[in-house]
Structure 1
């Protein structure tokens, strides 16, 4: 799966949006069971946390990917956060605050459905949103120049480097959806009554800005794909294949951490296991 990892400067238009893997659903079932067992070990080990970041255009399949990839996890071991428009309280803090307090504890998986990258994506496409952050140095949209974005990318890289050095294993997945497939998925939301609730007229407004978003995504990925926090561009037009690829990348990477293992029992406990068994049998 190394072909999906961003290790040098990329152009999104050169990255595939569709890959079809034979028996992807069957293979996913196998790999997610292995992931579930690995998560149990990670929880018992208690020294690493795992952060899975999902980004993509509307309808890219983030919600269903979370549902299918983490289906075999112990509920206590994974926490999903879906970041929407910042609340009044969140806007009273710096833009990374709400993401920092949502980070997974050691031993757990955290999944960010939309992430801190919204702060260099949506806000870059709509710079007026930045004004809501009440940053002292920003009094108008004119103050949001290239230097502002350079600083914000530097802050994000520093944030990720800090948490990586503190024991968080970071995965960042961009679900690379084609514009044609997004149109098909939006039409399905309109054609199926049970899916109507997912549709918003705002989806069409944002769709008109497709090319601008692609430029911003490409720049963000190129600036922030680091060895300690790599990006993966995942072909998203075929959902089963995308889910399998994400699960396989997570599993293969975590298996490389040979120090993630269940803790050894205390010598005294280990020496008296048979005694404890006998005590229970004799009750």
Structure 2
């Protein structure tokens, strides 16, 4: 059963985040959402098994969103039916000294999924046009030729970076990687409630950092940067989907359904057929095994 209309979440034209809902009514109860998600993730797991055997495509899923948007729990709940050999999750933190000694895309490139596998980026290469754009002083630590001061980080710099990201993703797409980019669109009020919950529940305290409050004060700056980044980089080969995230259960169903609907359109992905010689001798092999009883 298709629960969502993909076109209503996919960005094909100009995005204005302020006009996008942060809560989507799917017309389902929590119990129904749970049941729908269970079927979707089971079907996704089956698809991944077939894709692994086929061995010609990889899937890259990029998750972005403000703090508390629900990225971790979405990964846990949507992909729990996957064979562990078929999915790899990378959570990108502050770049290490080794990572800083390379260009900003290097650490993402070496984490890409191999053919037959799903790769999930929890925060992504887009941090390099989001966090660094809100805090441009971080760019100075990248030791880029020609960038000596904040004055050198101008509009042309960011346009070039968007172009580099588009080229990076197009190269991946042309070589068999299917790219999905999801922005979990959270309201500021819902973030406030989730941060409060982290403080009120002892088992959630470890998730809270004072920096959460500092970054929250820059909410409008981040929204502006997300909007521009999505508008500059939502392409046919690597589309962005803006997912209402005030309901975690709803967001999980929407993401899972978009993935399954899109992947099921790929009719060339099928399990490889057995070699003719093996097929001709299947009954012989079965007979040999049965005689061992």
Normalising by structure 1, we get a TM-score of 0.99
**Aligned to 2:40, which of 15, 24, 31?**
31
**Aligned to 1:44, which of 27, 50, 53?**
53
Q: Does 1:214 align with 2:219?
A: no
Instruction: Return the alpha-carbon distance in structure 1 between the equivalents of residues 122 and 241 of structure 2.
Output: 15
Q: How far did 1:109 drift?
A: 0.1
Q: Does 1:136 align with 2:164?
A: no
**Aligned to 1:252, which of 237, 261, 276?**
261
Contact 1:83/1:113 (CA < 8 Å) preserved in 2? yes
Instruction: Return the alpha-carbon distance in structure 2 between the equivalents of residues 14 and 265 of structure 1.
Output: 52
Q: 1:148-167 alignment to 2 at 5 Å?
A: 148-167=157-176
Q: How far did 1:10 drift?
A: 1.0
Q: How far did 1:20 drift?
A: 3.1
Q: Does 1:8 align with 2:33?
A: no
**How many residue pairs are counted as aligned between the two chains?**
283
What is residue 121 of structure 1 aligned with on the other side? 130
What is residue 168 of structure 1 aligned with on the other side? 177
* 1:133-187 Cα distance to aligned partner (Å, 9 max, x none): 1111111111100010010000000000000000000000000000000000000
Q: How far did 1:214 drift?
A: 0.3
SS of equivalent to 2:215: helix
Instruction: Return the alpha-carbon distance in structure 2 between the equivalents of residues 174 and 217 of structure 1.
Output: 9
Normalising by structure 2, we get a TM-score of 0.96
Contact 1:20/1:238 (CA < 8 Å) preserved in 2? no
Q: Does 1:20 align with 2:25?
A: yes
Q: How far did 1:25 drift?
A: 1.5
SS of equivalent to 1:247: helix
Could you tell me which runs of 5 or more consecutive residues in structure 1 were left unpaired when the two chains were aligned: none
What is residue 181 of structure 1 aligned with on the other side? 190
SS of equivalent to 1:264: coil
**Aligned to 2:247, which of 214, 238, 248?**
238
Q: How far did 1:224 drift?
A: 0.3
Instruction: Return the alpha-carbon distance in structure 1 between the equivalents of residues 98 and 267 of structure 2.
Output: 41
Could you tell me which runs of 5 or more consecutive residues in structure 2 were left unpaired when the two chains were aligned: 1-5
SS of equivalent to 2:34: helix
Contact 1:54/1:173 (CA < 8 Å) preserved in 2? yes
What is residue 108 of structure 1 aligned with on the other side? 117
What is residue 91 of structure 2 aligned with on the other side? 82
Q: How far did 1:107 drift?
A: 0.1
Query: Which 4+ residue blocks in structure 1 deviate beyond 2 angstroms?
Result: none
**Aligned to 2:102, which of 82, 93, 107?**
93
* 1:200-224 Cα distance to aligned partner (Å, 9 max, x none): 0000000000000000000000000
Q: How far did 1:282 drift?
A: 2.3
Instruction: Return the alpha-carbon distance in structure 1 between the equivalents of residues 290 and 38 of structure 2.
Output: 38
Instruction: Return the alpha-carbon distance in structure 2 between the equivalents of residues 66 and 269 of structure 1.
Output: 39
Q: How far did 1:76 drift?
A: 0.4
Instruction: Return the alpha-carbon distance in structure 2 between the equivalents of residues 20 and 273 of structure 1.
Output: 52
Q: How far did 1:69 drift?
A: 0.2
Greater displacement, 159-168 / 24-33 = 24-33
